[in-house]
Structure 1
């Protein structure tokens, strides 16, 4: 991995300066109101103590991947998905990274039945649209027990409590999934407005994870569940745009303090710009989204979405287009539609063009520039 694979000091500073909406100490927000409901329901169901773990999102790569059972060659370790600070340190890609160390505190103890709650920001590379951000909030809910009889029935009870807390009365179903740190993994889907949507994933704690934290799987067991909090809150309140969770517009910000249903706020006019760019063939909406957010900085929240309308390989391009664009065999030509819609102000045409050009420069890798 070359030096270009690591975050710059400015990128790291910006990531760490984001407000954690799960933390009441950083101000009131509906995210931690919802989290309190989930934790309260599980505490009531199990009659167990609750331990909340909050730590730095800068973690050793070993904690984020190795101790959770990810193979050395796992695709999730690639730079396209992970924000590395150095060869051995990264911004956590999931709050599960804090659990192996948290579990170490139970070694040598008896009669344990405890819910570990690990909420906070995680850092990924993701598409730019109304449902995704590069720094989402997640919570891991792990029940650790000094007994071996934690079962799938216990897991189903946990799922029922979670769904009832997030979407009271909603139908739910599970499908089998595989995680390196669980056994019997399940994806939890809920029926919302006639559509099945993923809410969370869970499973029984893998014996190797317990063993790696000094807990004998012949004496210990537990449940592991992870949930994205933006998705959960948007479903609960009916929020149409993920950017609203951080909006400062009073019409929106006041609605982000409770779990009351979303009240419609008229959106401002959109400005659309289509651009034709040349990029490496390996690029996708997630990696492009990350480059766009990084280039725009504080202006990134002006972008409502960036959609790929067309993808043409070098071989598929007519000879004249290859010459005009200057593409290479390992590149593709993308047609991107950019939708600009600030939450609290209207863009001038000049401002929209400037943002369009900044996005163009951030993603275009061809020798010919087409700026406006």
Structure 2
């Protein structure tokens, strides 16, 4: 990777100063209430001790990928998905990055049955819509035992307790899934509003992760579960827009302190802007979403969604269109619809046009600019 692939100091500072809604030291939030309920339910079920881990979100690439068993060529390591600070350091892409080091402290202990709770922000490149954020909150819940016999029955018991705590009475199912750091991986889906939605993923801790942390798999075993906290809270409260979780509007912010059902707040007027842009053919809604968030900075919450309506390759365009757009081989023409709607203030037409221009300039790579 070149230096252009690394985060700038400004972007690093912005990431590190973003409020972590899981941290009581940064103010109360319903995410903390839900997490406390989950931790209380699991630790009571297992009669286990509890240990919280809150490390810096700046982690060595080795901790985020290598120690968890990701292969060097795994697509998840690509710059398009990972926020690299240098070739060896990154902003963590999952809270699981904290666990290999956390496990190292158990090597000399006996009679261990402990729930390790590792919550916090993670950093990704994701689509702009009502259910995704570029810096979501996640929690890893790992049960570590000084016994080798943790099995699938224990895992299913954990899943049942988790679902009952997050969504009391909800129907759930599991499907097989592979993780490099678990054995017998499962995806947990819950039936909500007539459709199946993913809640979390889990599995038994992989022996190579235990060995890498100095624990003999013949003597140690455990469970590893990772869950997105925004999704869990939105399902629990019936929230339709992820941006509400950080809103300053008192009508909204006051509802983000408890697990009480969401009370509807009338949305503000919507501004729609359609743009025709030229981008590299490997761009998708996730990488475009990341560019938009970076370009808008503190105004990123104004973007409600970004949808690619059509995608036309260079060779599929008429010659006149190629000339008009200035498109080259290896590029595509996208028609993108942007919905702009602040959740706590009114947006004027002039402000919407200015935001359109910032977004357009950030994502369009063609030589012909069509600004408002």
Is TM > 0.5 for Structure 1 vs Structure 2? yes
Q: 2:270 matched to which residue of 1? A: 270
Q: 1:346 matched to which residue of 2? A: 346
Q: 1:2 matched to which residue of 2? A: 2
Q: 2:365 matched to which residue of 1? A: 365
User: Deviation per CA, 1:128-184, whole angstroms, max 9, x where unpaired?
Assistant: 000000000000000000111000000000000110110000000000000000000
Q: Distance in 2 between matches of 1:81 and 1:274?
A: 26
Q: 1:198 matched to which residue of 2? A: 198
- The alignment's C-alpha RMSD in Å is 0.5
Q: How does 1:1-372 map to 2 (within 5 A)?
A: 1-372=1-372
Deviation >4 Å, runs of 4+: none
Instruction: Please give the TM-score of this superposition, normalised by the length of structure 1.
Output: 1.00
Number of residue pairs aligned between Structure 1 and Structure 2 = 372
Q: Distance in 2 between matches of 1:308 and 1:282?
A: 14
Q: Distance in 2 between matches of 1:20 and 1:371?
A: 36
Q: Distance in 2 between matches of 1:102 and 1:240?
A: 35
My pick for the range that moved more, 312-321 or 177-186, is: 312-321
Q: Distance in 1 between matches of 2:367 and 2:121?
A: 38
Q: Distance in 2 between matches of 1:70 and 1:64?
A: 9
Instruction: Give the Å deviation of 1:109.
Output: 1.1
SS of the aligned residue for 2:272 comes to strand
User: Deviation per CA, 1:288-329, whole angstroms, max 9, x where unpaired?
Assistant: 000110011001111101110110001111111111001111
SS of the aligned residue for 1:105 comes to helix
Q: Distance in 2 between matches of 1:43 and 1:99?
A: 18
Q: Distance in 1 between matches of 2:330 and 2:87?
A: 27
Q: Distance in 1 between matches of 2:141 and 2:347?
A: 42
Q: Distance in 1 between matches of 2:47 and 2:25?
A: 26
Instruction: Please give the TM-score of this superposition, normalised by the length of structure 2.
Output: 1.00
User: Deviation per CA, 1:239-260, whole angstroms, max 9, x where unpaired?
Assistant: 0100000000000000000000
User: Deviation per CA, 1:116-135, whole angstroms, max 9, x where unpaired?
Assistant: 00000000000000000000
Structure 1: any 5+ residue segments left out of the alignment?
none
SS of the aligned residue for 1:311 comes to strand
